[in-house]
Structure 1
Amino acid sequence: MKDHRMNTLAENFATYFGQTPDACFAAPGRVNLIGEHTDYNEGYVLPFAIDRLAMIGVKIHDGKAERRLRIASTHGGPVIEVQLHGLSPASVEPWARYVAGVFWALELRGHRLPGADILLDSNVPIGAGLSSSAAIECAVALGLNELLELGLERDELVLICQRAENDFVGAPTGILDQSASLLSTTEHALFLDCRTKETEQIQLPLAANGLTVLVIDTKVSHSHDSGGYKELVRACTQGAQELGVVALRDVGTNRLEEAQRALVPDIYRRVKHIVTENQRVLDTVALLRTHGPAAIGDLLVASHASMRDDFGISCDELDLAVTTSMAAGAIGARMTGGGFGGSAIALLEASRTEEISVAVCEAFDAAGYLRPDIFSVIPGAGARRLS
């Protein structure tokens, strides 16, 4: 399937741009196993890359040519043309900012880039909480780094992609998504300390244990550059300031009673989620090391309850996906991603995939919701060159 997609991408590239690409690159979306909204609070996260990819074909222009960026998507629409000189978000269509923003961030780092043609083909669902945006950014960053021989390490590319998302796209995210897309390895989750940027590969042998992770895309769309996400960031920042710490990472569970006395209820609930979620990440890593993935179900369920009741980022569809999965026999389930829609995940015995999928679809039908898109994912490799 990947070879077929790559060949089709190269053929489509010739249709759009009249020539063949120099190379094709791919970067995965991700599932965040646990650790939600902890990244921009300098905490801990545990994502893994999935086998859904953003793929790009790239043709670098002659260095003597006009510094012009041409972007197209196999999903339709015209070719978008922008000048690299004076590049700004206002000059680029919203979906293409994830591509153009990487050029912008690299130029801020002092890399004067030539123009390029880029064709995007992605099967990472948009708005599903699986980080379709970071997958695009990371594919572009890796492609430019290799083709232009910029000499940047992958951890540097993470920060460049984050800056593109923060300051060009306008979404105040942490480094979770880009780290998962660039640094993940097959059959492992990525344990990331968002303060120190240290990472560790944690074995996540789902298939060997007869398990799978089911993604339940509720079809309720969300966007990280929306007001709701920014308000959560603001609430966390305020909580840290009022508790006298650099970031909520510095507040342990032993300080929650103090925090409850010091903070207004809405801010306290947000702080409580971050503090307890950080601990759940550490507990999940410990259980994976000692008992394997079948042991982490209760932590996933507790994480969802915290996001629903304390952080306030779940919705009726996500709650139904989680409760139905658990009632049908899942080991654990939680919403994943930024919230306000998107996807839930369920950890389950692979043999029960169809049974639980049917139960969720029937529950959504009965509630009058759009039928969810349900598919299994495996922990896959990070961004890579395809040709």
Structure 2
Amino acid sequence: MDSFRSKENLNRFESIFGKTKQLPRLFQAPARINIIGEHVDYLGGTVLPAAINFAVQVYLRPNDTSTYRLHSVTYNETVELKKPLVSNPKAPWSDYIAGVIVEIEKKGHTIPGFDLLVDGNIPQGSGLSSSAALEVVTGYAIKETFELVISKEEVALIGQRAENHFVGTNCGIMDQFIIAVGKENDCISLNTDTLKYSYHHFDLGDYEFYLINSNVKHSLKDSAYNQRRAECESSLVKIQTKYPIFTHLYDVNLEESELDTCHLTNQEWKRTKHVTSERERTKIVINGLESGNFNDVGSALFQTHWSLSKEFEVSCPETDFIVDSLQSLGVTGARMIGGGFGGCVLVLDKKDHFSKIEEVLKKSYQQKYNLAIDFYKFQISDGVKEIYI
């Protein structure tokens, strides 16, 4: 978001909450993409995410009361929260903020009342992690404003716990983590078991990543997302009965004949197949990006998409159509990203190819689904930070 919008929101903040001698402070958290490693971050897997230049911004100012007054620009809605904090079905966006407060206080901190205004340009339901960005920017703004000794990594964990325990989605750690520690022009490889990570700078040369929004909206549909996680966990329990050496489904490296002896259901088998094959594709993508072998990277991205569609069953006809069309048009690689059931497709292709496919894909998608698609070019950006205006 540009500084003009930020100044506009400062005026809006003071109009809603009043002017005081103390100016509110402005904080920003980015969206994220994940190049490879999908639906493995809650299974001990390795992921390759990057922060990108869509963002959620919050203005925050202490209000010398015990009440939290929150305003969403997107929903044009103001709510007041008092302790004990409970879920607010009339304004579910506020649950992400309330959950962060609850999780910080569980660590022994007391969070005084404050006024907060939130705005953002991350398309909701796009698979770019608007909810995680809100959690992380809230945690970081509270930490900075009230001078709490909390690392950025811990801010990420607080955000994840807020979503798990307060919002009720059993997400992994990847989204919050990259949003907290992201760095301009770098992605990270993150081991979601140990939380060890390293920065990687890749020279894409004549290639580029971009996004296509299917404009099919999802809200990380809790039932389906949590069901996939439960199926993965039940698979691991059955495998551990015969092969106790494995502590994560991601680490399972059994032959099909060995898996046959574990009595997995058909659904458990398919989930296991996606997770374990994603481990091998992640290695291919990291090696391909480092060596400049983008055809290998693209092939792995297509394979990941069809694995997510057929084995993990989290795609939808619209995103399948986009990826299938891109494959037919000779694009280097593409896959759905995010929790699934709509949202965005990540594309890797030569820069000069975009103009040849844009109108073709727009037209065919409109004809089939009576929906427009949006193309997003992006830059890899910094993680959560304070903005000075």
TM-score (norm 2): 0.93
Give the counterpart letter for 1:334 in structure 2. R
| 1:226-245 pair list within 5 angstroms | 226-244=222-240, 245=246
| Residue equivalent to 1:302 | 303
- Rounded Cα–Cα distance in structure 2 between residues aligned with 1:72 and 1:362: 39
1:128, 1:342 within 8 Å by CA — same for their partners in 2? Answer: yes
The offset of 1:33, in angstroms, is 0.9
2:30, 2:53 within 8 Å by CA — same for their partners in 1? Answer: yes
Give the counterpart letter for 1:115 in structure 2. G
The offset of 1:144, in angstroms, is 0.9
1:320, 1:363 within 8 Å by CA — same for their partners in 2? Answer: no
| Residue equivalent to 1:132 | 130
Partner SS for 1:297:
helix
The offset of 1:290, in angstroms, is 2.3
1:29, 1:53 within 8 Å by CA — same for their partners in 2? Answer: yes
- Rounded Cα–Cα distance in structure 2 between residues aligned with 1:230 and 1:119: 30
RMSD: 1.7
| Residue equivalent to 2:6 | 6
| Residue equivalent to 2:350 | 349
The offset of 1:354, in angstroms, is 3.1
The offset of 1:292, in angstroms, is 5.7
| Residue equivalent to 1:24 | 26
Partner SS for 2:48:
strand
| Residue equivalent to 1:277 | 278
- Rounded Cα–Cα distance in structure 2 between residues aligned with 1:359 and 1:223: 29
- Rounded Cα–Cα distance in structure 2 between residues aligned with 1:80 and 1:256: 54
The offset of 1:97, in angstroms, is 0.9
Gaps spanning 5+ residues in structure 1: where? Answer: none
1:190, 1:201 within 8 Å by CA — same for their partners in 2? Answer: yes
| Residue equivalent to 2:42 | 40
- Rounded Cα–Cα distance in structure 1 between residues aligned with 2:87 and 2:331: 43
Are residues 1:54 and 2:56 paired?
A: yes
Give the counterpart letter for 1:371 in structure 2. A
- Rounded Cα–Cα distance in structure 1 between residues aligned with 2:90 and 2:104: 17
Give the counterpart letter for 1:112 in structure 2. T
- Rounded Cα–Cα distance in structure 1 between residues aligned with 2:256 and 2:161: 32
Q: Which moved more, 1:23-32 or 1:88-97?
A: 88-97
Give the counterpart letter for 1:246 in structure 2. T
Q: Which moved more, 1:319-328 or 1:114-123?
A: 319-328
- Rounded Cα–Cα distance in structure 2 between residues aligned with 1:11 and 1:360: 41
Partner SS for 1:242:
helix
The offset of 1:261, in angstroms, is 4.2
- Among candidates 90, 100, 104, match of residue 102 of structure 2: 104
Compared with structure 1, are the counterparts of its residues 18 and 313 closer, same or farther at alpha carbon in structure 2 (3 Å cutoff)?
A: same
The offset of 1:205, in angstroms, is 3.1
- Among candidates 189, 193, 196, match of residue 191 of structure 1: 189
| Residue equivalent to 1:330 | 331
Give the counterpart letter for 1:18 in structure 2. G
- Rounded Cα–Cα distance in structure 1 between residues aligned with 2:312 and 2:260: 15
- Rounded Cα–Cα distance in structure 2 between residues aligned with 1:102 and 1:190: 24
| Residue equivalent to 1:79 | 78
The offset of 1:281, in angstroms, is 1.4
Compared with structure 1, are the counterparts of its residues 238 and 320 closer, same or farther at alpha carbon in structure 2 (3 Å cutoff)?
A: same
- Rounded Cα–Cα distance in structure 2 between residues aligned with 1:41 and 1:197: 12
Give the counterpart letter for 2:71 in structure 1. A
Instruction: List 4+ stretches of structure 1 deviating above 6 A.
Output: none
1:204, 1:293 within 8 Å by CA — same for their partners in 2? Answer: no
Gaps spanning 5+ residues in structure 2: where? Answer: 241-245
Q: Which moved more, 1:296-305 or 1:323-332?
A: 323-332
Give the counterpart letter for 1:351 in structure 2. D
Compared with structure 1, are the counterparts of its residues 92 and 109 closer, same or farther at alpha carbon in structure 2 (3 Å cutoff)?
A: farther
TM-score (norm 1): 0.94
- Rounded Cα–Cα distance in structure 2 between residues aligned with 1:216 and 1:260: 39
1:73, 1:120 within 8 Å by CA — same for their partners in 2? Answer: yes
The offset of 1:289, in angstroms, is 2.0
How many residues align? The count is: 380
| Residue equivalent to 1:215 | 211
- Rounded Cα–Cα distance in structure 2 between residues aligned with 1:360 and 1:274: 30
2:202, 2:290 within 8 Å by CA — same for their partners in 1? Answer: no
